[in-house]
Amino acid sequence: MTRKFKVIIVLLMLALPPQALASRFSGLDGDPQLRSASALVISRDGSVIYGKDADTVRPIASITKLMTAMVIIDSGIDLDEKITVTKADRDRVQLTGSRLEYGATLSRKQMILLAVMSSENRAAAALGRTYPGGLTKFVEQMNLKAVELGMKNSRFADPAGLRVENVSTASDLVKMVNAAYGYELIRQASTTRRLEVYPYAKRGPLTYGNTNRLLKNANWDIALSKTGYINEAGRCLVMQASIDGESMSIVLLNSFGKLTPFGDSNRLRKWMLAQK
């Protein structure tokens, strides 16, 4: 290819109208009537398909666990090393229970799988506690990672997302979802529907299921997801999903009702496809 021909091609590309490069879902009319307090849908090219209170700072509950997984993987620590749940991992904030009793032992990789797919709080707590330098250093690293990702309105306070001080915005969480998508293990964990683990030497397996029921829905093509809930945060859901072949980052925060984030996701998808 001659230099002159290359220049012509570049000029032609620059002459293309901006909408030629934008998502085909851009500029949709109407309102999907979502019940989540904050919502944001962004296409892979950065087009905002839908936004609602996207810059309001809110508690994010177990969405936090995506950051926990990234920090653990980034550290290069041995994921095959066995770690054991102790009393230090119990939830003293929301007082939630766990099937991982004191003495339960699994590899770090398995703890990541349980924390992300099934939102297992003690698994996330054990990951943070056994981080080099301990829990304080781990939380510090979570916040440094947030700065690195440009999450200017986000703060992290614990690895499980149990503290109300874990806060972010829908705009910031799109950045975290996109970053988490770059980790194969997180994609695997967040889309695994069922998993058996053997945390006790002389007992049978524990079977865990994914907290995102949309993974069972044939209409959805989900590459990454995470749910979250504490009273202060409401029901939360983040996903990277393909809608009609186009990849989207979806963030839904502070939904009222256990099924509302899934209903909002379906309303979004129906609204987008109806106007395409």
Q: Residues 198-252: pLDDT tens digits?
A: 999 989 999 999 999 999 999 999 999 999 999 999 999 999 999 999 999 999 9
Higher local confidence (pLDDT), 222 or 30: 222
pLDDT of residue 59: 98
**11: in domain:** no
Nearest to 243 by CA among 217, 276, 267, 221: 221
Q: In the chain, how long is the greatest CA-to-CA distance? A: 74
Higher local confidence (pLDDT), 274 or 138: 138
pLDDT in tens, 39-57: 999 998 899 999 999 999 9
Among this protein's residues, is 62 annotated catalytic?
Answer: yes
**20: in domain:** no
pLDDT in tens, 86-110: 999 999 999 999 999 999 999 999 9
**Residue of 62, 171, 190, 249 marked active site:** 62
Domain that holds residue 56: 26-275
Q: Residue 276, exposed/middle/buried by CB under 10 A (0-12, 13-18, 19+)?
A: exposed
Q: How many domains does the chain divide into? A: 1
**161: in domain:** yes
Q: Which residues of 212-245 are buried (b: 16+ CB within 10 A; e: fewer)?
A: bbbbeeeebebebbbbbbbeebbbbbbbbbebee
Compute the CA torsion angle 249, 150, 228, 39 (nearest 10 deg).
-50
- What's this model's pTM, rounded to 2 decimal places? 0.91
Q: Which helix (H) or strand (E) holds 252?
A: strand 246-255
Cα atoms in the Cβ-side hemisphere of radius 13 Å centred on 74: 15
Side chain identity, residue 272? M
**Residue of 23, 65, 145, 154 marked active site:** 65
**64: in domain:** yes
**10: in domain:** no
**229: in domain:** yes
**56: in domain:** yes
**16: in domain:** no
Among this protein's residues, is 119 annotated catalytic?
Answer: yes
Which of 9-18, 89-98, 110-119, 247-256 is predicted with the least confidence, judged by mean pLDDT?
A: 9-18
Distance CA 122, CA 115 (A): 8
**Residue of 119, 154, 255, 265 marked active site:** 119
Q: Residue 109, exposed/middle/buried by CB under 10 A (0-12, 13-18, 19+)?
A: middle
CATH of the domain at 129: 3.40.710.10
